[in-house]
Amino acid sequence: MSYNVCEIVHMTVWQWCEMAISEQDYVIGKQNGRTSTPNGRVLQPEPISPAAPSLNVPPAAPAFRTDGRTRRILFFFGSAILQFIGLDVILGRIPLIGDWVRMSRPRRLRWWAFRFRILALDMGGVMIKLGQFLSARVDVLPSEITDELKGLQDEVPPESIGRIITVLQEELGDYHACYAAIEEEPLAAASLGQAYRAWLWPEDGQPGLGDAVVIKVQRPNIQQIVRTDLSALRVVARWINRYRPIRKRADVPALMEEFAKTLWDELDYDLEADNAERFAIMYADSAQIYIPAVYRQQSTKRVITLENVEGIKITDVAAIQAAGIDTGEVAECLLDTYFHQIFYEGFFHADPHPGNLFVLPRVDLPWPPPSVNGDEPPETGRPFWLIFVDFGMVGRVPEMMKAQLRKALIAVMQRDSQALTEAYADLGFFLAGADLDRIAEAQDAVLKRIWGRSWLDLAQPDPKEVQEFSQEFKDLLFEFPFQVPQDFIYLGRALGMVAGLVSLLNEEINPWYYFDKYGQELLQDEEINIFSLETAWDVIRPYLSTPAQVQRLLNLAESGRLRVQTDRETLRYYDKIERRIGQIGWSILGAAGILSATLLYLNRKKNPPK
């Protein structure tokens, strides 16, 4: 293809991109707070003066229109794909021009990420959820994309209270009988629903306000929106899957179906209530993890009512420290919690973004503690609750995956690159025919380079080291024998988000200490399990047939047919013993005869016969 044709393609794509979405800016106030289900403890949050009840808002008639949603989605992604083909695939291979293409890539990625964010805020629904999902994949996407999309976690435009009241009426009927008061302003606006602070009626029937709750209500017509958007995104997934380098490493339509399944699960609030109650059982006896309670009578598939537990957003480090809480302890608590969920429960909270995690000082415990020997009480270290909310997105770790994850963690702890490679292979991270020995060499080199470094150093590697590593293993990087396992998509996302939160809470945290800590714990469990399996069978096996043998012996004894069998050596041994016993008997008889004769002789000599 000639240069002129390439230039025409480039200019055409660029004009399409300019036309893709009209310029618009949103100034959207960030909403904080959220909640979620019971572990039997009572929190004592700061008292909140309720706003005027919003119980007489005229409902707005819901009117769902596609507004060309499918066309807009296909046009946006089609333009992006065309630009990628025109610039990176075609022009990128031309000498000199290719250097410009590579240098301009970060700017173009930021531009497309900005355009996507504007489109997502305008369309809402699945597009915002997709942007939130992509913003958390710091492990696989460039920072130019993730940094631009992070704003989608907080700047979701709220739905009008009238349309929300319509959903409440459809689900609960006379919602006045359920809630004594509802605030008009949403406590939080999410991509699929909104949360409102409310109060139940007092249990004693007296006038006033009862328990403080949070009502999470789905947006009107969100199910139709999700169905429409997913249909368009499935077409985009098939387009992307036509590119061989991507198709070779990821089944994009399958990943799309995994995303769709999780999205539909999030729209089932009955399922979310079940998830919340399971987490409540898991942490019923915890001194640091709090799961808010679910009010089932005021909950349906589209409405869920939860205990109102408001705390400090986990990313507000200054506020956490001002409350006397050690942020390092919060980071360790978060790591311990996810280690337990993934490696022991096989059931984890898959959406740990800052809007779903809060920290609350424990007012039920005295602080600061009384001074000892006149010492000043500590300024930090105050007991706290780590509060999880929003259980619509959860992940499950099958036993096979859990075993391989355990193997991988133990391998990192022991710096065993061969075992680590085998665990990754069993998890499905490598293409068929990948050179596992060469990959193990690369992982060994990486472990030696990064061992002992802080989390911040790991997140910001030295470019010179990266270049040296690339030169040493350029053959491996050129072949790039890696792929994205379908079952790992949400686990990898959750781990990436947790790592980001931990590094924010404690920049100097030593990840290797926790690799060693958790690896030793898993290794000890493995040794106990192996010992138990090997020894339990040896101990139990002799007794499994004992009852039948005893019954058989009793039957033979009663019938007089009981025989005792032994081997020839034992019989010969018994014969020797019998002969010895016989010799001893004759010796005793002979000695007794000699003794009797002697006594008789002496008696006759002393008393001769007359």
For the range 462-469, what are the long-range contacts, defined as Cβ-Cβ under 8 Å and sequence gap of 24 or more? 469/442, 469/445
- pLDDT tier at 496 (50, 70, 90 boundaries)? confident
Q: Average pLDDT for residues 288-308, to the nearest whole number?
A: 95
CB distance 240 to 252 below 8 Å: yes
- pLDDT tier at 250 (50, 70, 90 boundaries)? confident
Strand ranges (E), 274-331: 289-290, 294-295, 303-307, 312-313
Helix (H) or strand (E) holding 349, with range, is: strand 347-349
CB distance 213 to 201 below 8 Å: no
- SS3 of residue 218 by DSSP: strand
Look at residue 267 and tell me whether its pLDDT is greater than 80: yes
Q: Average pLDDT for residues 58-74, to the nearest whole number?
A: 68
Least confident stretch, 19-23, 386-390, 522-526: 19-23
Q: Which residue stretches of 298-367 are H helix?
A: 317-322, 327-340
C-alpha separations of 339 from 405, 425, 452 in Å: 11, 22, 20
- pLDDT tier at 138 (50, 70, 90 boundaries)? low
13-23: string of b/e by CB count within 10 Å (b at 16+)? beebbeebbee
Predicted local distance difference test score (pLDDT) of residue 17: 37
Q: What is the mean pLDDT of the chain?
A: 78
For the stretch 530-556, pLDDT in tens is 544 444 444 444 444 445 555 554 555
Q: Is the dihedral of CA 187, 193, 198, 203 positive or negative?
A: negative
Phi, psi of 188 (to 5 degrees): -155, 145
309-337: string of b/e by CB count within 10 Å (b at 16+)? bbbbbbbbbeebeebbbbbbbbbbbbbbb
Predicted local distance difference test score (pLDDT) of residue 50: 45
Look at residue 295 and tell me whether its pLDDT is greater than 80: yes
Look at residue 2 and tell me whether its pLDDT is greater than 90: no
Look at residue 573 and tell me whether its pLDDT is greater than 60: no
Look at residue 56 and tell me whether its pLDDT is greater than 70: no
Bond from prior residue into 370 cis (ω within 30 degrees of 0): no
Q: Is the pTM of this model over 0.75?
A: no
Least confident stretch, 10-24, 322-336, 414-428: 10-24
Predicted local distance difference test score (pLDDT) of residue 265: 92
Helix (H) or strand (E) holding 385, with range, is: strand 384-388
Predicted local distance difference test score (pLDDT) of residue 527: 62
Structure tokens at 446: 């990486």
